[in-house]
Amino acid sequence: MKFKVVQYAKLNSRQKENYNFQKVSALLADLGFVTLKLSDDWKGADFIAKHVSGRTLFVQLKSRLTIDKKYSKTNPYICFPSKLRVWYLCRHNDLVKLVFRNTNVRRTVSWAKRGGHSQAHPRRALLPALEKYRIGSDRVRPA
């Protein structure tokens, strides 16, 4: 049987979510994690990542950088890609601080009025601050 590489842009939203989960799971497996996809959000998480050390991460998977006041209390890890398909994994509240420190998001209508903000791709000014949260076989830092 011959398979062709799937075109991400042609997937529907559910298929994209499953695709992203599989991509992130593979990256996390290299770092010693096993992942478990949840059927509904629990503690603000789409999936649980369990490390060989016993550490457990509650992870909200996003297709773009996203911060939202609704995650402030449970403070899950937010996992999202950049346009280069580099993935980042960062605690929500730490991500909020990074975004505020390196952008003007705090003054946007989306944050001030609706309590949330997302960016299709992290702003260039934010990338150096995000670097320590990049995941992949060359990074080991879920802080």
Give me the CATH number covering residue 24. 3.40.1350
**Does residue 140 form part of some domain?**
no
* Tokens coding 33: 């994690």
Asked whether residue 142 is domain-assigned, the answer is no
Q: Which domain holds residue 26?
A: 8-134
Is 143 a domain residue?
Answer: no
For residue 139, being part of any structural domain is answered with no
Strands (E) in 1-143, as ranges, are 33-42, 45-51, 56-61, 65-68, 77-81, 87-91, 116-119, 134-135
Domain for residue 72, yes or no?
yes
Query: Per the domain annotation, does 1 fall within a domain?
Result: no
Residues 6+ apart with CB under 8 A from 21: 35, 37, 46, 47, 61
- From first to last of its 143 residues, the chain has per-residue pLDDT tens of 999 999 999 999 999 999 999 999 999 999 999 999 998 878 789 999 999 999 999 999 999 999 999 999 999 999 999 887 899 999 999 999 999 999 999 999 999 999 999 999 898 889 999 999 999 755 544 44
* Global pTM value: 0.90
Domain count, the chain: 1
End-to-end C-alpha distance for the chain, whole angstroms? 42
User: 86: which 2 tokens?
Assistant: 């580099």
